[in-house]
Structures are given as C-alpha cells and as structure tokens.
C-alpha cells in the first residue's frame, strides 16, 4: 500500500497521493481526506506528483473532496497533474472548477 503524505500547516493541508487515483484506492483515500476535514481547513492542495492513472471513481473522489472542502468554507487546488491527466481534466472542463495546475506552485505559506 502506497503511503500518502500529508503536510499540514494549521489551516493549509497538502495531500500527496503517491500513486494512482483509481477505484481500488478510493475508499482508503476517502477516509483519509475525511479525517483531515475534521479539522478546520482554509485550503486543501492535492498533489498529484507520481499519479499516472486517474479513473472515473478517482474523478468522483476529487469532486467530492472539492464539495466537502467548499462546504467547510475552504479552497481547493490540484497541483502537479501529469500531462495526460491534465489534458483529460481540461477536456472535461474541470481545470478551472477544480483549480488544476500542471506544476507545483509556491510553497504553502501561511499568510
């Protein structure tokens, strides 16, 4: 089982997936993300470095996370999406809605 890395700096949470985002992994990731949301959240960043595969369930998870974060008043971002995945999300018009970028941006800072 691949380990997921979670960095937290008070309200800012960065989740690094370390592996594919497919149906088999969804339950485990769902539980993990849900736990993170028990704490107050300002921004959640999903780092897709190392994620080569994304399937429908995986997309479902991303959207569900986005919804949940939104309910808690936080912002949601996806970074480091590999080119094929980025293209897919672009075709699906999800890049803007889920705030997806293909590269990592500046270190999470606490303003």
Partner 1 sequence: MADDLLNEFIHESREHLATIEADLLTIEEAGDNVDEDLVNKVFRAAHSIKGGSSFFGLAKVKELSHKAETVLDMLRSRKMIANAEVTNVLLAAFDKLREMINSPGESDRADVSDLVVSLTGLASSYMAPEEKASLTQSATLHAKGVPPVVISQVDLDRARRSGQCVYCVDYDLIHDIEKKGLNILKVFRELGESGEILDCFMDFDAAGTLDDTIGNQLPLRLVFATTLAPHIMPELLSIPEEKIKILFDPVAQAATPTVATAAPAPAPVETAPAARVLATAPIPTPAVEPEVPAPAAPEPRERPQASAGRGGQAESATGGGHSTADETLRVNVGLLESLMNLAGELVLSRNQLRSAIAQNDVQALPVAEQRLNQVTSDLQDAIMRTRLQPIGNVFGKFPRVVRDMSNALQKEINLDIRGKDVALDRSLIEGLSDPLTHMVRNAVDHGVETPQERTKSGKRSTGTIRIEARHEAGQVVVEIADDGKGIDPTRVADAALRKGLITPEKVRAMSEKDKTALIFLPGLSTAKQVTDISGRGVGMDVVKSNIDRLGGTVEIKSEIGKGSVFRIKMPLTLAIIPSLIVAVGEDRFAIPQVNVEELLCLRSNDVDKRIEVVGEAKVLVLRDRIIPLVRFRELLRLPSEGTVGCGSTRAGATFDEALRIVVVTTGSMQYGLAVDSFHDTEEIVVKPLGRHIKGLREYAGGTILGDGRVALILDVAGLASKAELGAAVEAARTAEEEKAAERERLEDMQSFLLFHNAPDEVCATPLETVLRIQRVTPEQVETKANRRTIQYRGTSLPLVTLSDSANVQSIGDSRELAVIVSSVRGREVGLLGCMPVDVVETRTAIDTTTHRQKGISGSVILNDRTMLIADIVELVETAYPDWGAPAEQRDVRSVAGSVTAKTVLLAEDSDFFRAQVKKYLEQDGYRVLEAPDGEEAWERLEDNAGTVDAVVTDVEMPRLTGLGLAQRIRGDDRFARIPIIALSSLAGEDDIARGRAAGVDDYQVKLDRDRLIAGLQALLPTA
Parallel, antiparallel or unpaired: strands 5-9 and 12-16:
antiparallel
Residue 83 in the binding site for partner 1 (CB under 8 A)? no
62 φ/ψ angles, rounded to the nearest 5 degrees: -60, -45
88 binds partner 1 (CB under 8 A): yes
Q: Is residue 80 a contact point for partner 1 (CB under 8 A)?
A: no
Q: How far is the CB of 70 from partner 1 (least distance, A)?
A: 9
| Helical ranges in 3-108 per DSSP H | 26-36, 56-71, 83-91
23 lies in the binding site for partner 1 (CB under 8 A): yes
Q: Is 6 in the site for partner 1 (CB under 8 A)?
A: no
């Amino acid at each position: 089982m691949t380990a997921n890395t979670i960095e937290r700096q008070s309200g800012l949470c960065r989740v690094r997936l370390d592996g594919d985002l497919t149906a088999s992994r969804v339950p485990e990731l769902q539980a993990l993300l849900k736990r993170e949301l028990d704490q107050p959240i300002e921004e959640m960043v999903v780092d897709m470095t190392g994620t080569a595969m994304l399937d429908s369930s995986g997309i479902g998870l991303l959207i569900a996370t986005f919804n949940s974060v939104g309910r808690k008043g936080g912002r949601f971002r996806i970074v480091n999406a590999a080119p094929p995945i980025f293209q897919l999300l672009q075709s699906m018009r999800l890049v803007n809605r889920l705030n997806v970028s293909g590269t990592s941006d500046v270190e999470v800072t606490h303003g």
